[in-house]
Amino acid sequence: MSERDTRVVPGWDGRYFEDFTVGDVYRHPLGRTVLPTDNSWFTLLTQNTAPLHFDANYAAQTSWQRPLVDSTFTLALVTGQSVSDVSQHVFANLGWDEVRMPAPVFEGDTIYSASEVITTRASRSHPDAGIVTVRTKGLNQHGVTVISFLRTVMVYRRGLGPVTRPAVEELAGSTGGAVQAGGAS
């Protein structure tokens, strides 16, 4: 295939409201190892003064015997892991409910996550969007659930939200070759 016949294949662009089906489960693609720096910085940035998160000497005197990762970091991390599947085209984040942390997260743990679509409905106040509720779980490297929560988001309908990047033709123009769009979006 010559440069003139370059074929552009669209990458994953996230779901729009029409793409959600109750009962679908999305395994989010990226895991993330929690580093001591993540825990320290997040604790400091949020002005959390609990020494259990940043004072190894103090933490060694607890039943955990080592620092616990700030629970709001875990919530933020697992929410972030779900964005490409759940809220890439978010109109608004409406809330988290039933947040549970059944097991601790420690520095060095790797967190993976998945979300199940629980409900969908059209928005009554914003015809360009719909409301989706998912149940998200975060698990550590041993398969132990460390967090679960319901998250409700308002998501744009296809073609009614902001444009996130230039059209394929504009991107292809910079290569100097003709482009054939390929794949479905």
> Is the confidence at residue 183, as pLDDT, over 60?
no
| Domain residue extents for the chain | 14-157
Question: In the numeric block, which tokens belong to residue 156?
Answer: 């744009």
> Is the confidence at residue 37, as pLDDT, over 60?
yes
**CA–CA dist 51, 12 (Å, integer):** 41
pLDDT digits (tens, 9 = 90+) for 13-29: 899 999 999 999 999 99
pLDDT digits (tens, 9 = 90+) for 64-91: 999 999 999 999 999 999 999 999 999 9
pLDDT digits (tens, 9 = 90+) for 110-121: 999 999 999 999
Check: CB of residue 151 under 8 Å from CB of residue 76: no
Q: What are phi and psi of 95, to 5 degrees?
A: 150, 165
The type of residue at 158 is R
User: In this prediction, what percent of the chain has a pLDDT beyond 70?
Assistant: 86
Architecture in CATH for domain 14-157:
Roll (3.10)
25-35 as b/e: b if 16+ CB within 10 A: ebebeeebebe
